[in-house]
Chain A
Amino acid sequence: MKIPEKLNAPLRMAIVSMIICGLVFPVAVTGIAELAFPFQANGEQATFNNTSIGSYLIAQEFTAPVFFHPRNDSASGVDPDIMLSSAYAQIPGISNSTGISSSILHGIVDNFVSYTMFFFGTPYINVLQVNLYLVEHYSSVYSKYVKAG
């Protein structure tokens, strides 16, 4: 089959650009990323007892009343964070089920606060970070709820 003159160059350019942009570029970026930033490149996975139990960036389901719970309405559906006010609202319940005093829980939560505008804006916490902290520091309370690791 003969390709008309006018179509020859565009067709070849299309293939060349596909190889460069669609293959060479992402593979090169992957190579460097995996070498330089393996933790981030693989999705900031959280480990517990040396086993991956998920990602700090992706909300995971918590059902037991001893944990802080993520939101279940949100744009992505996997919002890993809750507002500080929402965390505070969950503290009495968690305190009841774990016996950890509200003031201690407040202290723990406050340690994990980030802000939407760096140092300003709305304070929020990462649910998995706080829950992992609780699991690691109050293992007597939490061990029966933890199935991973």
Chain B
Amino acid sequence: MHTLVSIPDALSIVAVWAIVILMAWVLGGYLYAIYTGKKGRLDRFFDPVERFIYRLAGVDPSREMSSKDYFLNLIILNAFQCGLAFVILSFQSYLPLNPQHFPNLSWDLSLNTALSISSNTNLQHYGGGSSLSYLSQMMAIQFLQFTSAATGLSVAVAIFRGFSGRFGGIGNFYYDFVRSLTRVLIPLSFVAAIILVALGIPQTLNGYVLVKTLEGGSQVLKVGPVASLVSIMQLGTNGGGYYGANSAYPYQNPSPLTNWVEIVLMMLIPTAVIFLFGRMVGNRKEGNVILVSSYTLYAIDLVISFITVTTIGPGMEVRFGAFSSVFWTVTTTAFTTGSVNASLAAFNPLVILAAFMGMLIQATPGGIGVGTMYMLMYIVMTVFIVGLMAGRTPEYLGAKITPRDVKLAVIAFLSHPLIILVPTALAYSMGAAGAVGAGKGPVGFIEIFYEFTSAAANNGSDFLGTSANTVFFNVSTGIVMWLGRFIPIAVMISIAGNMSGRVRNIQAGLRTDNLIFAAVLVFSIMILVVLTFFPFLVLGPILSYLEGIPNGL
């Protein structure tokens, strides 16, 4: 009889959670200070830098924006950033810092890549180590990884301002965006990058190294500016690796220690944002409810993934072992990062089921900024459905939930299955699934379904990898990634803008700041998501599990 996990494994989960929650708690306080404009010692350094940036961009960071204004600036900026990356990828052979003389990417692959990184998805239809120049890695990939993470943080802060109703509006997008970069992401990534270099991850602009191996064969060592990319791609829950094999590739994740450091990095900011929420709404217990709910869902995913014992096998890296590989895979989907440290095909179907749960819920705790945003979407729906049973018009944070809120939350919720299922069905009917070798059995179905689920959830892990570099998948997933990213953001900013001016009545109604509500919320999320996707999970991982497909799909 196997236990699900060994005692040291279980303890390591507890230890990582404890470390992350402690660090996130501290970081949450810092985030609160910088987004509410509290004066600090670091202002002396940051203020002039930010003033310079505002002047270069020609923006006034003190102007209060309407929700429409906020979103328009956000999406236009993202579109321009995406466009810049597209240009760099499409013309990298004419640009400097291309020591390997990689050719230009095709238009559809450039498009897919730019849409993918800018939407914080990082679905990789390109092989980073074998097709991107240093300049592309830096000024297309890393650049968008920073800005998409900053966008996520800005969205969260704006929504928190609106939901709390304590800030007279939702703020100014450029203020949030620039501060996210200068005071959060760049400093944290900088420290993380130096630590990662010290632990063995390359960081150089010298070209790939050609060596003669011990037996005299020739080998190319694909070094490059890796650490600076890995730090932001984990911290920003981007997940797009320097290499196609992502964090399974030893240069991206050389040891068990870097493996844990990278896990902590990807968990850190999404968890800190939850603490930020509690502080911004003026009741830390409200934040704690989200923390407990999201980590409970994360724990449920972990339990599912450990029901079947995973042993080390093909597709996994020896240095991580089976446990860390499973733990990483569940975590990377729970935080919708999407970086992988083993081939997904290495895992038994229940691990894949757990990965699906993370991507379908998107709030376990989910991606940077947007994870808490999805949680708020679920809270609006849950408070509305069950709150009536308390005999009052449902309220959240003292504000009544209006029909308009419900309408918008339903639109956000509804868009998710739509942008997953329609292209999945299209992939089959247009023959695109067959073209990439996805069979008609459950295995093939999982591969295609996972591709669009990952795209819609802005996760980025996938089965297909570079084999999906076809016009159909490049264009379809590109569209899905942007819709999956910006429909919910638009909707939730709109709700927040509306809520910001709503009268508050703090002490009445169903309390949302206790464990009872956390339990109701977890139940409700499970039911809502199960209701939506159960048949497809049955057709995919559950069917594989029942058919006794062990490891490898």
Asked if A and B touch directly (CB within 8 angstroms), the answer is: yes
Contact A30 B203 (CB under 8 A): yes
Contact B209 A42 (CB under 8 A): yes
Contact B57 A9 (CB under 8 A): yes
Residues of B within 8 A of A7 (CB): 76, 80
Stretch at the interface among B36-44, B223-231, B441-449, B531-539: B223-231
Contact A116 B221 (CB under 8 A): no
Stretch at the interface among A58-66, A93-101, A104-112: A58-66
Contact B214 A33 (CB under 8 A): no
Contact B200 A12 (CB under 8 A): no
Contact A58 B214 (CB under 8 A): no
Interface assignment of A50: CB less than 8 Å from any CB of chain B:
no
Q: Which of B59, B202, B346 contacts A40 (CB under 8 A)?
A: B202
Residue on B with the closest CB to A126?
B319
Interface assignment of B281: CB less than 8 Å from any CB of chain A:
no
Contact mask for chain B residues 261-272; partner A; CB cutoff 8 A; 1 contact, 0 none: 000000000000
Interface assignment of B254: CB less than 8 Å from any CB of chain A:
yes
How many whole Å from A15's CB to the nearest CB in chain B?
7
With A23-B139, A25-B190: A6-B211 Cβ-Cβ less than 8 Å: no
Residues of B within 8 A of A76 (CB): 243, 245, 248-250, 317
Contact B314 A74 (CB under 8 A): yes
Residues of B within 8 A of A148 (CB): 211-216
How many interface contacts (CB-CB < 8 Å) are there between A and B?
A: 266
Interface assignment of B186: CB less than 8 Å from any CB of chain A:
yes
Interface positions, chain B 269-323, Cβ under 8 Å from A, are 312, 314-323
CA distance A115 to B293 in the complex (A): 34
The interface on chain B, measured as residues whose beta carbon lies within 8 A of the other chain's beta carbons, has a size of 87
Q: Which of A8, A21, A64, A74 contacts B58 (CB under 8 A)?
A: A8
Interface assignment of B106: CB less than 8 Å from any CB of chain A:
no
How many whole Å from A54's CB to the nearest CB in chain B?
5
Contact B320 A116 (CB under 8 A): yes
With A10-B80, A14-B80, A146-B214: A58-B181 Cβ-Cβ less than 8 Å: no
Contact mask for chain B residues 128-172; partner A; CB cutoff 8 A; 1 contact, 0 none: 000000000011101101110010000000000000000000000
CA distance A57 to B221 in the complex (A): 10
How many whole Å from B86's CB to the nearest CB in chain A?
12
CA distance A61 to B81 in the complex (A): 42
CA distance A80 to B214 in the complex (A): 14
Residue on A with the closest CB to B145?
A21
Contact A9 B73 (CB under 8 A): yes
Residues of B within 8 A of A124 (CB): 318-319, 321
Q: Which of A28, A48, A53, A75 contacts B190 (CB under 8 A)?
A: A28
Residues of A within 8 A of B186 (CB): 20-21, 25
CA distance A65 to B213 in the complex (A): 16
With A18-B143, A146-B215: A71-B203 Cβ-Cβ less than 8 Å: no
Residues of B within 8 A of A141 (CB): none
How many whole Å from B12's CB to the nearest CB in chain A?
6
Interface assignment of B514: CB less than 8 Å from any CB of chain A:
no
CA distance A80 to B318 in the complex (A): 8
Residues of A within 8 A of B340 (CB): 75
Chain A contacts to B: CB under 8 angstroms: 6-18, 20-23, 25-30, 32-34, 36-37, 40-45, 48, 51-55, 57-64, 67, 71, 73-83, 114-118, 120-122, 124, 128, 131-132, 135, 145-148
**Subset of 5 A-B contacts with CB under 8 Å:** A37-B197, A43-B209, A43-B223, A75-B340, A121-B321
Chain B contacts to A: CB under 8 angstroms: 6, 8-9, 12, 53, 56-59, 72-73, 76-77, 79-81, 83-84, 138-140, 142-143, 145-147, 150, 174, 177, 181, 186, 189-190, 193-194, 197-206, 209, 211-217, 219, 221, 223, 225, 227-229, 243, 245, 248-251, 254-257, 312, 314-324, 340-343, 346
